[in-house]
Chains A and B, each alone.
Chain A
Amino acid sequence: MNARWLIADSRRLGVQAHGVLRAHKWWLLRRICQISVLGLFMLGPMAGIWIARGNFAASQIGGVVPLADPYILIQGLFGGASPAIPVVTGAIIIALAYLIVGGRVYCGWVCPVNIVTDAAFWLREKTGLTRDRKLDRRSRLGILAATLLASALTGTVAWEFVNPVSLMQRAFISGIGFGWAIILAVFLLDLFVSRRAWCGHLCPVGAFYGLIGRGSLVRVAAVNRDACTDCGACFTICPEPHVIVPGLKGTGSPLILSGDCQNCGGCIDACPVDVFRMTTRLTVPQAREGG
């Protein structure tokens, strides 16, 4: 039994060029981040160590700093709630933070469902499942709008009745009940129906953070794109392949500017010739650099 079998096909070239560890650097950092955030919230209820109280919807860190999910708050406001100072402060802090690090950093670095959908994608590669029902990736914007409409119609926080993201983080912090069925459905959808179906096409939480991400500071850039060998590794690994095209193949800025990019660093890990780098809008010129 060779443990190398576990390595995703899309990382093969990266591993050959740079070794196993470096070809998993960003992946490892992301998993550590996802697990630590969740772990921090679990420490209280499980071990009585109260660094963070609450959950991903709203929390209090160190007994002082309020945090809150702006998307859930906005649904509530559409549902007719009057805004309270702590939750609004918390939502602003979170929104500003993602404006700096990248909106969909939430998806790649925090959201626990990402681990499920990444696992489904990995299994797709391993089993050679190729069925890929074409979904429109703008569907998620429609679903986002629909959740706000439903919130207004029912006077509730409508998406929270089904949201797999909330269900899954609560599964670890307080409990989920039959909600596992929804998580399983997302997994099966990504495995059998369509490549990256949930996070890449349908999830309104991702759509919301993607909108924030349009203006974010931290960005991946194809700084070394002249070295590109057209091996396609970045496109295979990327959860949102369309975002790479302008930066890598265009003649303008090498920055990956789409709000859909998760700053997951998958492309950096996978590329055998070090085309990509994690950088910021300010350090990489918006126009083509070099010759």
Chain B
Amino acid sequence: MASSKRKMNRRTAITETARAAGAVCLGGFSLAALVHMARQADARALRPPGAQPEADFLSACVRCGLCVQACPYGTLSLAEWGQEPAVGTPFFTPREVPCYMCRDVPCARACPTGALDGDIAIRDANMGVAVLVGHEDCLNYKGMNCSICVRVCPIRGDAITLEPGEYNGRRIMIPTVHSRHCTGCGTCEKHCVTGHASIRVLPRDLGLGGSGRNRAGRKA
């Protein structure tokens, strides 16, 4: 009797445990799927200077907003529900407020988790890269000498230059970004005079072509 009861108990204990483990896995996988979906939207988020690569950033950042509060320009904000980046993570929208590239990088210094590298020199920041996405509207492409983007760039001459070229049979000066020096601060995007900014900062994997995959593109 007693032993069969114990056996029963053991059996119920095992089923109970199995059920609990099953529920945990189901819950875990569902939440993982949700997180995965939400992260598709992150692709366009611009992070504060010194941010680790996106995958590492999302596990390190605790969503505390210390970086946001440290920025003297109100550049950064924590994503709310319904905004693109992962909810609670810091990001900025250069067309509204660009990063002013503070020499002492207060945002990154304030980060308690290492999600932002506190030792970064602002010139080495890699928030994204500016891309002339709308050349059809760019005034320089129409033969004018707007060049606002070049003139406002805090690293002009290195990050962005004017290169002579020809378009529709007209000699023009093309605003040309050099990704090695561009930090993605977004000052050019902020000041572009066209409707939606013809030059925009994109995360690097969106904004750059990447080195070639076929024989022709490969470095010799």
Chain A residues with a Cβ under 8 A of chain B:
44-45, 50, 53-55, 57-60, 66, 68-69, 72-73, 76, 79-82, 84, 86-87, 90, 138-139, 142-143, 145-151, 153-162, 166-167, 170, 173-179, 181-182
Contact = CB atoms under 8 A, between A and B. Distances in A.
B61 to A, nearest CB: 7
Interface of B: 20, 23-29, 31-32, 34-36, 38-39, 55-56, 58-66, 68-70, 77-78, 80-83, 86-88, 110, 112-115
A160 B88 contact: yes
A154 B28 CA distance: 10
B32 A167 contact: no
Nearest to B68: A174
A58 B38 CA distance: 23
B76 to A, nearest CB: 10
B87 A86 contact: no
A69 B88 CA distance: 15
Given A58-B66, A68-B62, A178-B81, A76 B31 contact: no
Given A60-B110, A68-B112, A87-B62, 11 more contacts: A53-B110, A57-B65, A57-B88, A59-B64, A59-B66, A76-B61, A146-B23, A155-B59, A174-B80, A175-B78, A177-B82
Contacts of A170: 63, 65, 78, 80, 88
B112 A158 contact: no
User: Which 4 pairs from chain A and chain B are nearest by CB?
Assistant: A177-B80, A149-B28, A79-B59, A146-B27
B31 A146 contact: yes
Contacts of B112: 54, 58, 60, 66, 68, 84, 86-87, 90
Nearest to A79: B59
B13 to A, nearest CB: 14
Contacts of B25: 146, 149
Contacts, number: 169
Contacts of B58: 79, 155-157
A153 B28 contact: yes
Contact of A174 (B35, B78, B82): B78
Contacts of A181: 81
Contact of B20 (A53, A80, A142): A142
A147 B81 CA distance: 19
Contacts of B55: 155
A138 B17 CA distance: 12
B56 A80 contact: yes
A178 B88 CA distance: 12
Contacts of A156: 35, 39, 58-59, 86
A73 B63 CA distance: 10
Given A81-B56, A142-B23, A142-B27, A57 B63 contact: yes
Contacts of B31: 146-147, 150, 158-159, 161-162
B28 A145 contact: yes
Contacts of B110: 53, 60
A145 B66 CA distance: 28
